Amino acid sequence: MTDLSALNARFGLSGQAVFKQGSGGLDVVEVANSRGSATVALQGAQVLTWAPRGLPPVIWLSRAAKFVPGKSIRGGVPVCWPWFGPHATVATLPAHGFARTVPWEVIGAQTLADGATRLDFRLVLNEAARAQWPHATLLECHITVGTALEIDLVTRNADRSAITIGDALHTYFEVSDIRQVTIRGLEGCPYLDKMDAGKRKQQAGPVTIGAETDRIYLDTGADCLIDDPGLKRRIRIRKRGSHSTVVWNPWIEKSVKMGDFGEDGYLNMVCVESANAADDVVTIAPGGEHHLWVRYETEPMN
């Protein structure tokens, strides 16, 4: 049980960042400043919501999301670590790793000069996590909430041997209608099509979505743009330290089967995930570190 009063005494920022108990008893920190607002769950250091001040939400959170300690939350920015997708050899281990379903420690909170709020979290590997990942590895997540949302996921190898990780910021973006949306920046990229037995293909033109879509674009460091004519806005996704971009929408059948998308939830979301997946997994030398960094911003689309 988290001591919320102690957290607020140590890291609360009056009028800007307040730690409180959220849905399902999951502790969250609510951020509101002159430039934007967000909610972050301490489980998984998971951004659940974000909106620049005076603008509609940019991050999608399912209306049917389940908030159960130890279970993944549908929406927001789940942190996938230390592997992406199914575990390479042990099928019983959780998809996308364990980082998103364990409590993280708060290690910092500050107001930046431009009025944005920065929150710092650290994942301390508990016994269950070390059983799945027997390496001396430190993981931090630094989240900056303002008119942009910045997330820096930092893996440090404190072991005596190299480690290889897959990771992702598995971000759910809010859109007016997925059928009207265009995703640019991946033109010409090779991708693994998980809807076609993982076959390797090449992207021709911008990405549009009219059915279940699950693609791992490889060897791409490019920014992506989500053009949303319905909301007359473009979401710009900048990234560093990510060699893969995953595009996912479950469409109708899969979203109903998953049970936590809500009625037609699939229509209002698209995942564009900055990742290191499949061929792009990252090896970190002893003493080394790897940053997976993203910056999300919106701009009007005329």
Which positions lie near ligand TA6, rule CB under 6 A?
Answer: 72, 85, 95-96, 170, 194, 214, 246, 248, 271, 273
Least gap, CB of 271 to ligand TA6 (angstroms): 6
State both tokens at 254: 């899969």
Asked if 126 and 95 count as a contact pair (C-beta separation under 8 A), the reply is no
Least gap, CB of 72 to ligand TA6 (angstroms): 5
Set 96, 140, 142, 170: catalytic member: 170
Query: Rounded CA gap, 234 and 232, in Å?
Result: 7
Residue 256's SS3 state is helix
Set 273, 289, 290, 299: catalytic member: 273
Asked if 237 and 223 count as a contact pair (C-beta separation under 8 A), the reply is yes
Asked if 144 and 150 count as a contact pair (C-beta separation under 8 A), the reply is yes
Residue 194 or 236: the one with the smaller Cβ distance to ligand TA6 is: 194
Residue 179's SS3 state is helix
Catalytic: 142? no
Catalytic: 273? yes
Residue nearest to ligand TA6 (CB): 248
Q: What number of other Cβ atoms are within 10 A of residue 229's Cβ?
A: 15
Residue 88 or 95: the one with the smaller Cβ distance to ligand TA6 is: 95
Least gap, CB of 170 to ligand TA6 (angstroms): 6
CA of residue 215 relative to chain centroid, distance: 16
Residue 20 or 63: the one with the smaller Cβ distance to ligand TA6 is: 63
Least gap, CB of 85 to ligand TA6 (angstroms): 5
Residue 146 or 166: the one with the smaller Cβ distance to ligand TA6 is: 166
Query: Rounded CA gap, 292 and 239, in Å?
Result: 7
Question: How large is the C-alpha radius of gyration of the chain?
Answer: 18
The catalytic site residues sit at: 170, 273
